[in-house]
Amino acid sequence: MTKKFFGTDGVRGRANVAPMTADMALRIGAAAGRFFRRDQSAAHRVVIGKDTRLSGYMFENALTAGLTSTGMNVLLLGPVPTPAVGLLTHSMRADVGVMISASHNPHHDNGIKFFGPDGYKLSDEAEHQIEALLEDEIEPAQAENIGRAKRIDDGRFRYMERVKSTFPLTHRLDGLKVVVDCANGAAYRTAPEVLWELGAEVVNVGVSPNGFNINDGCGSTAPQLAAEMVRKHGADMGICLDGDADRVMIIDEAGNVADGDQIMALIAKRWADEGRLKGHALVATVMSNLGLERHLQEHSIAMHRTDVGDRYVVEAMRQKGFNLGGEQSGHIVMTDYATTGDGLVAGLQFLAEMVRSGQPASHLVQQFEPCPQLLKNVAFQKGNAPLDAITVRQAIAEGEARLEGKGRLLIRKSGTEPLIRVMAECEDELLLNTVVDDIASAVQAVA
């Protein structure tokens, strides 16, 4: 069954435009409160975190109103990374956690992500049930049972201590200069402080949020600024986070950028050598490079692919008992440490390998030679269904036929933005460009 409001990572859209309005946020909060407050006689609580978008204030208040109206007690964390919400939902024995963020999107977008009491993102089934409640009249609590709201001032410090505990006690970052780009987002205080406390000399980028500059020319989707700062300051490496700090890109001392595939390859090989890689396998999505799969095979490490979305990666990891997975976009999930992607923890794992091996970042970021890959995003008008058009289906079929035995093709609708993503991999770069261009053009013609 198709979900009406929830996408691949919660409810997301442009702030003050349906479905991301204050009224809808209030209703979503009330529906979630009714869904999780099953025992009417017991006290229930929810933790709410947010990133630094201006609209976060509006959605925080609206969600609080909706949740307290159904008897939930709300604990407000303020600006914290998404993984902090997963951690604190579980450690504070909350019934549900909420993160208000549109991740890597521009400031004018926002989103609402839910975590269950175990700290993991909600399943599709749970989201369907919340949507069903949204369609009906939501029963409010009796006046004497309305919930309370309380601000929690030390949430980020609890998260910081957990993050530091993932770094080997035998290691320090003394003598290392690290550029950290926080995208003017949720980790603008936590990431620099953690790195400094572990001994690094820290060069800060993107740590002055004003409500509008989140992900604006900085962060994991625009690592060029951080790369420039690495070269300018002679840093040993750089860590680029996104707006809610659940994804990361790594930059070496020469300013070269390593994506999530390279980081996963490094961690998988290290953990396999140490006997820590459960199932001797890695979970990645259909977007991960064919070169990663070949590299893992060379080291007898299995690779399991899922649909795009770190939630689906985590679901597969939990089902199969694996402890490492992620996405090319930089979500690195290590369930030994966190319930969702954590860019800072992944960055610390990379730094730990630098310290352990004594190798420069440039030696560690190039774990395998990527297969040539091309991705084009084609915007379309809401309400259109370009992938259903005959001309598009014909272009895709022709592309698949031309790539058969030479590469692979992936066409999908984004779960967070009105985009059709056209991606292909092929050693023949001329053929690669031709196939992707032809399909993108066909989509554009009907978008």
Q: Which helix (H) or strand (E) holds 182?
A: none
- pLDDT tens digits, residue range 174-186? 999 999 999 999 9
pLDDT in tens, 283-298: 999 999 999 999 999 9
The pLDDT tens digits of the residues spanning 191-220 come to 999 999 999 999 999 999 999 999 999 999
pLDDT at 110: 97
Using a CB cutoff of 8 Å and minimum separation of 24, what contacts does 219-223 make? 219/104, 219/181, 219/182, 219/183, 219/184, 219/185, 219/243, 220/104, 220/181, 220/183, 220/247, 220/248, 220/249, 220/329, 220/330, 220/343, 221/104, 223/181, 223/249, 223/251, 223/257
40 pLDDT tier (thresholds 50, 70, 90): low
Confidence at 137, pLDDT banded by 50, 70, 90: confident
Give the residue-averaged pLDDT of 300-317. Answer: 94
- Predicted confidence (pLDDT) at residue 268 exceeds the cutoff of 80: yes
Provide the sign of the torsion angle of the four alpha carbons 131, 115, 258, 223, taken in this order.
Answer: positive
With a cut of 60, say whether residue 384 has pLDDT above it.
yes
The reported pLDDT for the residue numbered 155 is 96
- Return mean pLDDT, the chain: 94
Q: Is the pLDDT of residue 393 over 80?
A: yes
- Among 319-323, 372-376, 411-415, the minimum mean pLDDT is found in 411-415
pLDDT of amino acid 347: 98
Q: pLDDT of 325-361, one tens digit each? A: 999 999 999 999 999 999 999 999 999 999 999 999 9
14 contacts: CB under 8 Å, gap ≥ 6: 20, 108, 109
Neighbours of 426 (CB within 10 A): 23
- Output the CA–CA distances (angstroms, integers) from residue 115 to 47, 232, 237, 286, 339, in the order listed: 9, 40, 33, 24, 9
Q: Taking residues 60-75, what's their average pLDDT?
A: 97
Q: Could you give all domains of the chain from N- to C-terminal order, each with its CATH number?
A: 11-153 (3.40.120.10), 158-242 (3.40.120.10), 260-365 (3.40.120.10), 373-446 (3.30.310.50)
Q: What is the mean pLDDT of residues 423-445?
A: 94
Gap between the Cα atoms of 19 and 363, Å rounded: 46
Tokens of 387: 């992938």
pLDDT band at 41 (very low <50, low <70, confident <90, very high): low
- In which band, very low, low, confident or very high, does the pLDDT at 304 lie, cut at 50, 70 and 90? very high
Q: What per-residue confidence (pLDDT) applies to 42?
A: 64
The alpha carbon dihedral of 375, 378, 383, 386 has a sign of: negative
Instruction: Check residue 39 and give its pLDDT.
Output: 65
Active site (catalytic) residues: 103
What's residue 382's pLDDT? 75
pLDDT, position 139: 87
Give the whole-number percent of the chain exceeding pLDDT 90: 87
Q: Is the model's pLDDT at 1 over the cut of 60?
A: no
More confident of the two residues 5 and 226: 226
For residue 58, what are the contacts with CB-CB under 8 A and spacing of at least 6? 15, 16, 22, 25
- The predicted structure's pLDDT at residue 37: 81
Query: Looking at the predicted structure, is the pLDDT value of residue 416 above 80?
Result: no
- Cα–Cα nearest to 311, from 121, 128, 118, 113: 121
